Structure 1
């Protein structure tokens, strides 16, 4: 197992159980005590867990806590890629779509770079860079990318009046929205007030609203909501979503799609 895979597994264990001991991780991964401690140091620096004596515990995140892009990028990567694959199948050549900032939408962008005639509007620096990096080396036409401009957040989203005005002047066939949390009461939410307003503009400018978020987001609530579940035409998540959550979500969103990791 590579170090990145082991660390992702450690994060999942901490999030599911609330905490782990170094000795347990040594036994599970069959590596040295020192290797596990280096893993925990690296994950603590990235904000993905909190080190304590003899092990690690989950980070106590408040509704206003906003982790950076790098801290989120290594979380549940297999789930994000499965969701991205299902979402990409819905995008037709020649369509105009919007991608909100986020690590799941970033994974989706990686699967859309070869779609012909595509126009992509995004408020994500990372997503725009991913499309630019995938441009044909022989100068062939790639997707047309519109980057909104705006003020940069810790998660590399562009938000604020400039971004909102640009988005409100446009119209998309579909918008693909990442989300910090999804719940029946709060809908889709984010810790960042300005990002919530920009996401509301994305929702208002789209004919079809598609949420892309794995099952670990269910039940989480950020500081600011930006869409009710009834505003969502389709939620693409993964098969890890519990049966109770599936039933609740299916009653509230237009449609529910489960991707297999």
Structure 2
């Protein structure tokens, strides 16, 4: 019996929201596994900086694609210009915290559009090519809040819960075409998005006490799981959500 393959050589990966943070770490890991990686974001200058950093680290096969993943026309135009995408990581996400009873409708729409609808738009644009080639890996960056919620995160939890079920709906429709669609669900990861929480001593202590690992996660904690789901080793894993949270969701 041969060892499972985790190599992504000869594969092309698009990672949305990858000019910084978790998206950039995932892009670097996919490149290290052999994939040709396309970075995405809205800011061309920030994307160029990220690409330069990856190339300096020895990852030569790096491209950039600046477009807004919430803009249907921009997504369609970008997809037409990108060519074949073998691996898609829907990573783009934002947070707008607030109590539901006073949450502005604009904040509700912004989070749903960015964290959920964008995954539908980008995947819809690249899926026909995967179907035609009878091969593809789609990884939706879900969340611990795909299953759990805290006060002031109603819009985020709704979006990430929806993304979990969108992942399973995509599996139901596209598994027949040899496309694997799975979710990667981070727990509390130190990023720009969570920096205000980590800076609150009370919340920081709660996270460290609530998590069996006793610490916040970092972006690199997610990279192995992402490469695994993108690789041939995961060819019969479909419609699943892999949670990476230091054990937080396993205990009461």
TM bucket (normalised to shorter chain) is: 0.3 to 0.5
TM-score (norm 1): 0.42
- Which has the larger strand fraction? 1
Give 1 or 2 for the bigger CA radius of gyration.
1
